Amino acid sequence: MSPGEVVAVSLNTALDITYTVPHLMPDTSHRVTDVVTRAGGKGVNVARVLGRLGSDAVVLGLIGDDATGSDITAELAQAGVPARFVRVGGRTRRTVSVVAGPQATVLNEPGPHVTAAEWTAFQELFAGVVREARVVVLTGSRPPGVPVSAYADLAGIATAAGAEVLVDTEGPALRRALDTAPAVAKPNAAEAAELIERPVRGHDDAVAAAQRLVDLGARAGVVSCGADGFVAVTAGASYRVRVPHPVTGNPTGAGDALAAVLAHGLARRVPLPDVLARAAAVSAAAVACPWAGGFDPDVASRLLPEVIVRTTERKQDTCTSPPR
């Protein structure tokens, strides 16, 4: 398997189980009307969407040395998603999403414990593959045992190899990664709240959080706000991006679809406003998909001309980088 132009890191790979129910109520039993089981975790979801966008993407990750881990590798191979994993001791985690109408309830297991030797093995795999990559996406949670510096460490390796970095995480791991000056930092509103020490409750708060991402080192800060779209801030401009009408469905993978389009734009050196408009359309179309890691292309095509991008310019800016 050849390295991809985009490497999507999946440190906490999971077997995603999505249940659809008519209604979700506590303290009662439910009859499930549909079940979908497939490989997941944010890095895997991003790679799936990248493949649909036409990017040559590969997943690098950690999975447990168990039957669930084998199910994940088999499903990805069947789906045509290139992936390479370091096997670790312990049980591969599972996630359960319960979708009821426009709402989704997600239960995430913590993942297997990763030893120092296993983490070193992953870094060695990553360093070998990233030499041929244009973009690296560092996204999702860390399993137990993986250090808080993990994304910063991987970002440093990627940058030294000449790759752009997009980071989508939270807390101390995000702050450490910002020290490496990633091309894009993309937390959601809840994850970004810590940066401004208050909840992100509207456009102004989201812009403040995105600006804080830039102040801390990112070239572009993007904060996703669910059905309200997202904001982006760079040294040159700030953008408010949204579709005019919310899409109903399963919102679980919308943020991953947004990250995928941003990574695709970085890899193809597309002007930033065009990236943002397409990102809004695809992330909204991901809600129309019953499971994370996909999007409805017909919905995306319909929404793209309707996307509202409001720009406050400080100077001309693009999502480009010098040729490697």
Residue 16 a catalytic site member: no
Residues in the chain: 324
Domain locations along the chain:
6-22+34-313
Distance CA(231)–CA(207), nearest Å, equals 6
Sheet order of strands, 135-139 included: 83-88, 57-64, 6-10, 135-139, 164-168, 184-185, 220-224, 230-234, 237-242, 308-313
User: Do residues 238 and 198 make contact, with C-beta atoms less than 8 angstroms apart?
Assistant: no
What's residue 321's pLDDT? 43
Distance CA(63)–CA(71), nearest Å, equals 11
What's residue 314's pLDDT? 60
- Determine the CATH number of domain 6-22+34-313: 3.40.1190.20
Count CA within 13 A, CB hemisphere, residue 145. 17
Grouped pLDDT means (10 residues each) for the chain, 324 residues: 80 92 92 92 96 96 93 95 95 90 85 95 97 96 95 98 97 96 96 93 94 96 94 94 90 94 94 88 93 92 95 59 38
Q: Which of 27, 15, 116, 144 is nearest to 73 (CA)?
A: 15
What's residue 320's pLDDT? 43
Which listed residue (16, 168, 205, 256) is catalytic? Answer: 256
